Chains A and B, each alone.
Chain A
Amino acid sequence: MKTILFSFKSFCTASLIFVSLSLLSCGGGGGSASGSDSTASSASNDEAIIGAGSSFDNPLFSKMFSEYNKLNGLKVNYQSVGSGAGIAQLTSKTVDFGASDAPMNGKQDSAVSSPVIHIPITAGAVVMSYNLPEVKDTLLLTPGVLADIFLGKITKWNDPKIAAINKGAKLPATSILIAHRSDGSGTTNIFTTYLAKVSPEWNTKVGKGSSVNWPAGLGGKGSEGVAGLIKQTPGAIGYIEIAYAIQNNMAFAKVQNKAGNFITPSIASVTAAANIQIPADSKVSLTNTDAADGYPISGFSWVLIYKEQKYGDRTADKTTKLLKLISWMIHDGQQYSGALNYAPLSPAAVSVGDAILKSATYDGKPILQ
């Protein structure tokens, strides 16, 4: 009885201490949260710029915004919530800009009240990572073989179709385990867009999107989930972002591009893939482009803003700040991409981005000259 009472007492004190501690820490957290809240609420009074969207862009954006803050003292609050959620927040006008790894689709376009412009901000690549301890050379893949693997038609690594491309490589008889993303992601969108382009069968059976109905394979949550499956399972193949693969020293394959060359994915080959004729609205997929030395599975990431910037209680001053920020991001800001394994924009993309930025208006008048 006494011991129970005692333990109950000590439990009470312990929980009291715990609660007060957590309250304290909450207070601290709340303090900083209210700090950011104050910036958020004063954002409408042109203090900070708020953005939301792609988690792929987040590391680069964090670097860019902190550098820009040093230069101009402008605070940018970016929420890495995913491309789809970013577009939704832009649609409901709770943010100044959205960021997305895929251009807005027809349904999203019809949901917004006024036109939205897409400014290409960076480019990334999706690499085919694999786990084959027996294969010493880099694996080579053609679009046809890649599509057949992911359709579940090629099930063994020593399949004649794979052996025909990789002459001399010692391919094991293990079965192929496919790892894909289980969460909706821009990476999946780029990869399935590529497969839909190179394989008519994939296009009709599966299609493209940020989540699809995979014919075969296992799903891992996030890049780390897919990477975990690949690292652990001999005979696994999966797709991950190039930055993640490089940082984690994962083997990835050379993929044949449209011109017939086998290309190692790298920052340079992604930038090369983007050096093509870019349409005026910049909504272009960089998958399977004509560039002879471009890596075929790459894609732009875009910053999205309303073309007419006068909505709600936005001031001209704030709009100018936003546009200057984006302009800096596509010019000077690009120097930070390489170190973080993002591909800098190609000259063609920068000039298109400039033209699009100049088309933005405030009350019908252009903002940037």
Chain B
Amino acid sequence: MDRSVENDAITRSDLSLRVISSAGAGQLVKAKAKTRRPFRQIRTENVFKRTLVIMGILMVILVLGILLTLVVQSLPSIKALGPKYLWGKVWDPVQDIYGAWPFLLGTLISSFLALFISIPFSIAVAIFLGEYYPKGWLPNLLKNTVELIAAVPSVIYGFWGLAVLVPIVRNFENKIGVQPVGVGIFSSSLILAVMIIPYAASLGRSMIQMVPSTLKEAAYGLGATRWEVIRSVVLPYTKSGLFAGILLSLGRALGETMAVTMVIGNTSIIPKNIFSPGNTMASVIANEFTEADKAVYLSALIELGLVLFLVTVVINMIGKKIIDRFTTE
């Protein structure tokens, strides 16, 4: 199917080329009138290209501007607290002691746990929709449902989590014998896992659909079963794409604020296990920003945003490295 699209494109461009060349080689009298149009086209081309370049540069400036703002605004806190801010364990606005370590841990643990919970589901959905049933009403329904998951506002997940999920988790905690609190890192990871499934699933689905059918047909021709085709042709061919989708969903989990705040328990302690309440950087900012009444306090919160920004950048860079290694192999 891809091939046919490509063919279409080639023939179409060929045609247009032919039209232009025939016009150029055609009657000389009308040549002036006819060549005006290509000039205009070239001008439009240039304007379009320039717009694209400007848009691209604007995006870079925007991101650098955000980084710069974060750095400048967190200077007072960096000066007052130093690097100890990163591994300090106490967050006490009354005495102006700020340590981001519990929130850094909370963010990383809840996001990675959510990622591990979500991966089996998102890969399964991707394979189901990409390879097994690309067409039909059930796959369509599944596809739209998964996409709908991404469209639901996070505060709704938060309410649902607080009203439905937390009591279930509390019962579960009662059974396995940990302190039955209900809210905590485990609950927020479950919510996050649901929220991030669509990102990896839909990217994975389109990647799997792009596997050339010749490869798969060759494998079938050699006598491979469906499972063997998926394992030794589809997955190896799409692993960098699948990983990119997972990375995208991790980025979403790291920055998610509202739903997490509502179910994580908002406790500024270092989490003892995955069931204990905790706090994430994004939720601390959301909670305390409006009433931060001291300059250092406000600056410490903005520095938290800076740390979150850098964590996301570092994780993305590591991810890119891994994708590169995948694709060069």
Contact = CB atoms under 8 A, between A and B. Distances in A.
Interface in B148-169: 162-163, 166-167
A221 B268 contact: no
Contact of B291 (A177, A184, A207, A208): A184
Interface in A258-305: none
Contacts, number: 96
B188 interface: no
A1 B181 contact: no
B4 A1 contact: yes
Given A214-B267, A221-B287, A84 B292 contact: yes
Contact of A225 (B135, B181, B262): B262
Interface size class of B (residues with CB under 8 A): 35 or more
Contacts of A87: 293
Interface in B284-329: 286-288, 290-295
A201 interface: no
Contact of B292 (A105, A184, A228, A233): A184
A84 B291 contact: yes
Contacts of A175: 179
Nearest to A215: B269
A219 B266 contact: yes
Given A209-B94, A219-B265, A232-B166, A183 B181 contact: no
A213 B91 contact: yes
B21 interface: no
Given A182-B261, A213-B268, A217-B267, A108 B287 contact: no
A213 B95 CA distance: 9
B262 A221 contact: yes
B90 interface: yes
Contacts of B181: 177, 218, 233
Secondary structure class of chain B's binding surface, majority of residues: loop
A175 B181 CA distance: 11
Contacts of A82: 290-291
Given A214-B267, A233-B182, A183 B291 contact: yes
Contacts of B170: 232-233
Nearest to A88: B293
A213 B93 contact: yes
Interface string B27-47: 000000000000000000000
Contact of A221 (B1, B135, B266): B266
Contacts of B198: none
Contact of A218 (B1, B4, B90, B267): B267
Interface residues of A, number: 36
Contacts of B163: 228
A14 to B, nearest CB: 12
Contacts of B287: 182-184, 211, 219, 221
B183 interface: yes
Nearest to A3: B135
A213 B92 contact: yes
B1 A207 contact: no
A97 B71 CA distance: 32
A316 interface: no
A220 B266 contact: yes
Contacts of B91: 213
Nearest to A180: B266
Contacts of A256: none
B261 A211 contact: no
B78 to A, nearest CB: 20
A76 interface: no
Contacts of A211: 93, 287-288, 291-292
Contact of A212 (B94, B162, B179): B94
Contact of B266 (A208, A209, A212, A218): A218
Nearest to A175: B179
Contacts of B90: 213
A226 to B, nearest CB: 10
B277 interface: yes
A83 interface: yes
Interface string A176-203: 0100001111000000000000000000
A85 B261 contact: no
Interface in A62-109: 81-85, 87, 105, 107-108
Contacts of A146: none
A121 interface: no
Contact of A83 (B97, B182, B291): B291
Contacts of A209: 93-94
Contacts of A218: 181, 183, 265-267, 277
Contacts of B268: 213-214
A212 B94 CA distance: 6
Which residue, B90, B97, B166, has most C-beta atoms of chain A within 10 A?
B166
Contacts of B97: 213
B267 A185 contact: no
Given A229-B183, A232-B167, A182 B291 contact: no
Contacts of A323: none
Contacts of B294: 107
B293 A183 contact: no
A210 B261 CA distance: 18
A83 B293 CA distance: 9
Given A84-B292, A182-B287, A233-B170, 18 more contacts: A84-B290, A84-B291, A182-B283, A183-B287, A183-B288, A183-B291, A184-B291, A211-B287, A213-B90, A213-B97, A218-B277, A219-B267, A219-B279, A220-B266, A221-B266, A221-B287, A228-B163, A232-B162
Closest 7 CB pairs of A and B: A184-B291, A219-B266, A182-B266, A213-B92, A207-B94, A82-B290, A84-B291
20 contacts: A82-B290, A82-B291, A83-B291, A84-B293, A107-B293, A177-B181, A183-B291, A184-B287, A184-B291, A185-B291, A211-B287, A211-B291, A212-B92, A213-B91, A213-B92, A214-B267, A218-B277, A219-B266, A221-B262, A233-B181
